[in-house]
């Protein structure tokens, strides 16, 4: 077990990596392992390893020291002298940050990271739960995400294999677009929709991550005036809580819509306005101006001009 400084040299170009360890043999074995698995922290070294192969490199101890306390000082001397091309920094003690990164919400190709999955394998590699743009979920190793070894749940390859054949039989249809934007809203990656969806805990039920199931449950959109609507605005996107609805129905069902109680009946402002044949905006102005509900609903429009107080909103 040698304590000291070692070099990894690409014999053809003379490019060098300098390192130090309390166990040079073991440290070099880990370098080889990482390089063979395409996860070495030095991108440059990895690229040359991939291009030229293991046989193009020489591992050698260049100096042994009597105690670990001397390692940094001696490593720095070698870094300064040889300015190694493969090192990320020429400062001794520079450590590539350990893999404590949080990848949640990051996107890699068509995958969005949802959460961390349990570590796996002998070297305890990190894995992440991802959701693919196609709606399927999958577990991908951090290395595969970062280096692009895995770009999708597998649907991209399938698409290629089927060479142009539609995977869902629905790509590009309005139903598919509705489904895709529903997933997008609930994924929580868009700050604009976050507060209305993911931020309120509204999610898409698991079976609807699959487009054909969504289409089977919802059916085709009846007309271009319809869009997807949740009956319980605090509920999830799931069978039983979703319908294709027109704009008028949706207006009755927004969170902000005021419920007005009059003569023991309670209806939304939009519904009362329709019942008495008044524009919802007129009724809203009257209520906000402090009119009693009975008068607001019964006095014909134009009969009373709202005064300065009434104009105030
Ligand atoms: Zn996919």
* 83-109 pLDDT per residue, tens: 999 997 888 876 544 446 788 888 998
Say how far apart CA 296 and CA 277 lie, in whole Å: 12
Structural domain for 277, as ranges: 259-298
Distance 132 CA to ligand 1 centre (A): 4
Q: Answer yes or no: is 88 within a domain.
A: no
pLDDT value at residue 52: 94
Say how far apart CA 166 and CA 211 lie, in whole Å: 12
Q: How would you class 219 by CB atoms within 10 Å of its CB: exposed for 0-12, middle for 13-18, buried for 19 or more?
A: exposed
Answer yes or no: do 264 and 238 share one domain: no
Q: Where are the beta strands (DSSP E) in the chain?
A: 4-10, 16-21, 57-64, 107-108, 111-120, 125-132, 137-141, 227-230, 242-245, 259-262, 265-268
CATH, residue 51: 3.40.1440.10
pLDDT value at residue 176: 86
pLDDT value at residue 1: 67
pLDDT value at residue 218: 92
pLDDT value at residue 65: 92
Answer yes or no: do 246 and 263 share one domain: no
270 CB neighbour count, 10 Å cutoff: 21
Distance 110 CA to ligand 1 centre (A): 7
Answer yes or no: do 78 and 21 share one domain: yes
Distance 111 CA to ligand 1 centre (A): 8
Answer yes or no: do 188 and 144 share one domain: no
Distance 244 CA to ligand 1 centre (A): 26
How many domains are contained in the chain?
4
Distance 151 CA to ligand 1 centre (A): 9
Average pLDDT, the chain: 82
Q: Answer yes or no: is 139 within a domain.
A: yes
Q: Answer yes or no: is 123 within a domain.
A: yes
Q: Answer yes or no: is 96 within a domain.
A: no
Distance 157 CA to ligand 1 centre (A): 9
Distance 126 CA to ligand 1 centre (A): 21
pTM beyond cutoff 0.75: no
Distance 155 CA to ligand 1 centre (A): 4
In this structure, what is the dihedral angle of CA atoms 248, 208, 136, 198, given to the nearest 10 degrees? 50
Q: Answer yes or no: is 28 within a domain.
A: yes
Q: Answer yes or no: is 135 within a domain.
A: yes
Answer yes or no: do 70 and 138 share one domain: no
pLDDT value at residue 60: 94
- List C-alpha distances in Å: 120 to 91, 123, 154: 33, 7, 20
Q: Answer yes or no: is 95 within a domain.
A: no
Q: For the chain, which ranges sit under pLDDT 50?
A: 96-99, 164-167, 307-313
Distance 159 CA to ligand 1 centre (A): 10
Q: Answer yes or no: is 26 within a domain.
A: yes
């Amino acid at each position: 077990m040698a304590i000291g400084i070692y070099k990894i040299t690409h014999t053809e170009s003379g490019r060098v990596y300098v390192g130090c360890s309390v166990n040079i043999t073991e440290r070099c074995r880990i370098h080889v392992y990482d390089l063979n698995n395409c996860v070495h922290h030095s991108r440059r070294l990895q690229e040359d390893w991939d291009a030229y192969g293991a046989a193009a490199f020489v591992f050698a101890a260049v100096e042994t020291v009597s105690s670990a306390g001397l390692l940094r000082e001696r490593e720095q001397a070698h870094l300064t002298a040889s300015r190694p091309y493969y090192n990320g920094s020429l400062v001794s003690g520079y450590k590539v940050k350990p893999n404590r990164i949080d990848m949640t919400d990051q996107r890699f190709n068509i995958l969005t990271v949802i959460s961390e999955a349990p570590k796996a394998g002998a070297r305890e590699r990190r894995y992440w739960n991802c959701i693919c743009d196609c709606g399927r979920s999958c577990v991908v190793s951090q290395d595969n995400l970062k280096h692009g070894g895995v770009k999708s749940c597998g649907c991209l390859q399938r698409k290629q294999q089927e060479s142009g054949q539609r995977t869902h039989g629905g790509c590009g249809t309005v139903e598919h677009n509705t489904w895709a934007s529903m997933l997008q809203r609930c994924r929580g990656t868009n700050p604009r929709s976050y507060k209305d969806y993911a931020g309120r805990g509204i999610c898409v039920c698991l079976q609807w991550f699959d487009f054909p199931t969504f289409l089977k449950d919802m059916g085709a959109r009846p007309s271009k005036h319809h869009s997807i609507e949740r009956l319980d605005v605090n509920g999830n996107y799931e069978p039983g809580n979703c319908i294709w609805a027109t704009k008028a129905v949706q207006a009755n069902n927004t969170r902000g819509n005021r419920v007005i109680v009059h003569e023991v009946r309670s209806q939304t402002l939009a519904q009362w306005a329709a019942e008495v044949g008044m524009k919802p905006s007129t009724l809203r102005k009257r209520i906000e101006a402090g009119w009693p509900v009975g008068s607001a609903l019964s006095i014909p429009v134009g009969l009373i001009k709202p005064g300065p107080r009434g104009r105030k909103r």
